Structure 1
Amino acid sequence: MKILELDFEAGWRGGERQTFLSMQQFRAAGHEVEILCRAGGKMAERAHAAGFVVHPCNNVLGVLAFLAIHGESYDILHPQTGHMLSWAVLSRPFHRRPVVYSRRVAFALKGWFTRYKYQRVDQVVAISQACADSVRALGVDDIEIIPSAVLPVLPDASRCKALADTLGIGGRRVVATTSALSEDKDPLLLVEAIASLRQRRNDFVFVHFGTGDMTDVVKTRIKELGLEQVFLLGGYQQQVEALFGLFDVFVMSSREEGLGSSVLDAFSARVPVASTDAGGLKELLADERGLLSAVGDARGLAAHIDTLLEGSPQVLAMAERAYEYVVRVHSVETMANSYLRLFERLLRRAPA
């Protein structure tokens, strides 16, 4: 097959990593894979470095022109973002190729055009039931669930030690998250939770890896609560999963979450997880694979972090269950093979 991936994000978050993992696995299976993406973005940079054919575009007109002129030369168009889905659907009279959209977020969908484009895609794939439910609300019921995947996490001991020295962790327990400093991730809830945890114990440090438009707001709140020595901002870290060997507890504070691929990294590294119950997170942490608190409940989240830091036999068993689950359900091979079987079914029923 000749597959065109479509991702127009400028940065690099969980969705982009999933796109890239899919591309690598599709190529390894013997298929021809190219990507249409934002010029100058992280995806263009990484895909080019990995030897993929990259079609960079500066704007929507460039994307529409490429799809109208070249789209019919592909067997499958696989948009991975909402904007790319819109443009793949709008250009369909020209390319007439099957369109498979991967829905990775669970927020509510609305508007006539949103309904229009979802009803004209050949197949919607959701990474969790929460993501699927958001699409079903539009009256689209044919949704395939293909969960996100992670590579096995291999901690880098030298990087972990260097970072610990740089941040001045000094032997304290490490609680951490890897997420954008953005409203949907609710980083201010994390600040409040760490302030609450600080009232319970003083043997830990919290490190937030990530950047975003709420950075200044978070810094201000950290200072207001006097947490400068406890709540550290680690910024963006390339291949941040290699640092999971430094973590004693992993935390997610999201208000909305399609699934939570960084939680899968924590599972793979056998790091116990405390999380809000937003979207797909409650699916991941079901069956005693982690501890869930309600969205917005800072005290509840703090209590769960406190429990996990105790490292009891029950906590160790929880981390082991999570590890076994991620190996069984969320391997890259499982995800890619599910997509390839889907692509092949669509091509068999497509008109010649």
Structure 2
Amino acid sequence: MKVLQLNFEKGWRGGERQTLYCMRAFRAAGHDVEVLCRAGAPLEARCKEEGFVTHGVRNVPAQLAYLARAGRHYDIIHAQTANTVTWAVLTKAFHGRPVVFSRRTSFEVEPGDQWKTGAKWRRVDGFVAISEMAAAEPRRLGLQPVIIRSAVEPHAIDHANVDRLVAELGLQGKKVLATSAALIHDKDPLTLIRAVGELARTRRDFVFVHFGAGGDREAQARAEVQALGLQDVYLFAGFRKGVEDFYSIFDVFVMSSIEEALGSSVLDAFLQRVPVVSTDAGGLKESLADGRGVLCPVGDVQALASGMARCLDDAAFRDACTQRAYDYVRSEHDVTEMGRRYLALFERLLAQR
């Protein structure tokens, strides 16, 4: 098969990593795979580094033009984001190819948008949701998505990258707690900062490192750190290439999201046997079920602080939950298996034509 991936995001987050994982899996299985993406974005650079054919364009009209002109040369068009699936179905009259959409969010569709979103989704040939939570809204609108969970790969640690971070942030001799999340409303960084503040009232043997790009809550987050006097405890590390390396020095990984379709960053923690403390938002509740971490109610500062303390201090609990999490991620979130499930869906769609 010849597969075109669509992802036009500006940054590098979980969806972009999953796009690259899909491309690797499809290529490893013997298929041709290319990507239509934003020119100059991290996804384009990463795909070029790995030898993939990339089609970098700068705006929506250029996306539409490429799909209308060249889309018919592919067997499958796989949209990895909500925006790109719009362009894929709008140009379907020109390219005539099966469109597959991977829904990576769990947002409820606004009542006034239901007719429009429902009409778009019904023009998709293969609808995939990455979790039960991501599938809930399309099911409510009468669709039946296939569940194909996001994947994570075993990672070869770049120890030089880790050493540079430790030296830069002064992490020597400290327990390291961390998150990897953009500073946006859905990730609720203010609750996380306040939970770290609660933990810091009883101990100062740790540093909390916040990895991730800025966003609509960045100014408030930085102000909250100042207001709570956490400047030496709560460090903003920004976006870092190779963030997967840093899990090797984490003592606890924390998520404070109020909305999350899956929370793929917790899968890295599972794979590297880092205990996870998380809110029970969306797909995070699925990922951390059955004792694979500490689940807390959304917005509960005290529960997050208590969970972090328990993971730091209770070695038996930490060992048990990380083993369960490791076994789970290796069986349910394997890249090869994810690719196999997508390819099986692609083949079914092509057989129906």
Q: Give the alignment's TM-score, normalised by structure 2.
A: 0.96
Please name the residue that 2:92 is paired with: 92
C-alpha displacement at 1:77, in angstroms? 0.5
Please name the residue that 1:70 is paired with: 70
**Paired residues of 1:156 and 1:245 also in contact (CA < 8 A):** no
Please name the residue that 1:273 is paired with: 276
More displaced stretch, 38-47 vs 314-323: 38-47
- Residue identity (%): 51
Please name the residue that 1:154 is paired with: 156
Determine if the alignment matches structure 1 residue 129 to structure 2 residue 140.
Answer: no
1:178-205 CA distance string (max 9 Å, x none):
1111111111111110011112322111
User: Which of the residues 206, 228, 235 maps onto 2:238?
Assistant: 235
Name structure 1 gaps, 5 residues minimum: none
Please name the residue that 2:16 is paired with: 16
CA separation in 2, counterparts of 1:152 and 1:28?
16
User: Which of the residues 320, 337, 345 maps onto 2:340?
Assistant: 337
1:187-202 to 2 correspondences below 5 Å: 187-202=189-204
CA separation in 1, counterparts of 2:93 and 2:162?
52
**Paired residues of 2:77 and 2:99 also in contact (CA < 8 A):** yes
CA separation in 2, counterparts of 1:66 and 1:18?
23
**Paired residues of 1:277 and 1:293 also in contact (CA < 8 A):** yes
**Paired residues of 2:133 and 2:283 also in contact (CA < 8 A):** yes
**Paired residues of 1:177 and 1:208 also in contact (CA < 8 A):** yes
Please state whether the residue corresponding to 1:36 is helix, strand or coil: strand
1:1-352 to 2 correspondences below 5 Å: 1-110=1-110, 111=113, 112-140=115-143, 142-213=144-215, 214-350=217-353
C-alpha displacement at 1:311, in angstroms? 3.6
User: Match for 1:195: what amino acid?
Assistant: G
C-alpha displacement at 1:165, in angstroms? 2.2
CA separation in 1, counterparts of 2:188 and 2:318?
25
Name structure 2 gaps, 5 residues minimum: none
C-alpha displacement at 1:245, in angstroms? 1.0
C-alpha displacement at 1:116, in angstroms? 0.8
**Paired residues of 1:109 and 1:135 also in contact (CA < 8 A):** no
1:213-257 CA distance string (max 9 Å, x none):
232221111000000011011111111011111100000011111
- What RMSD over aligned residues (CA atoms) do the two structures have, in Å? 1.1
Please state whether the residue corresponding to 1:320 is helix, strand or coil: helix
**Paired residues of 1:157 and 1:245 also in contact (CA < 8 A):** no
Please state whether the residue corresponding to 1:228 is helix, strand or coil: coil
C-alpha displacement at 1:66, in angstroms? 1.1
Moved over 4 A (4+): none
1:104-142 CA distance string (max 9 Å, x none):
1111123122111011111110110000002212221x2
C-alpha displacement at 1:331, in angstroms? 0.8
Q: Give the alignment's TM-score, normalised by structure 1.
A: 0.97
Please state whether the residue corresponding to 2:196 is helix, strand or coil: helix
Please state whether the residue corresponding to 1:51 is helix, strand or coil: coil
| Number of equivalent positions | 349
C-alpha displacement at 1:160, in angstroms? 2.6
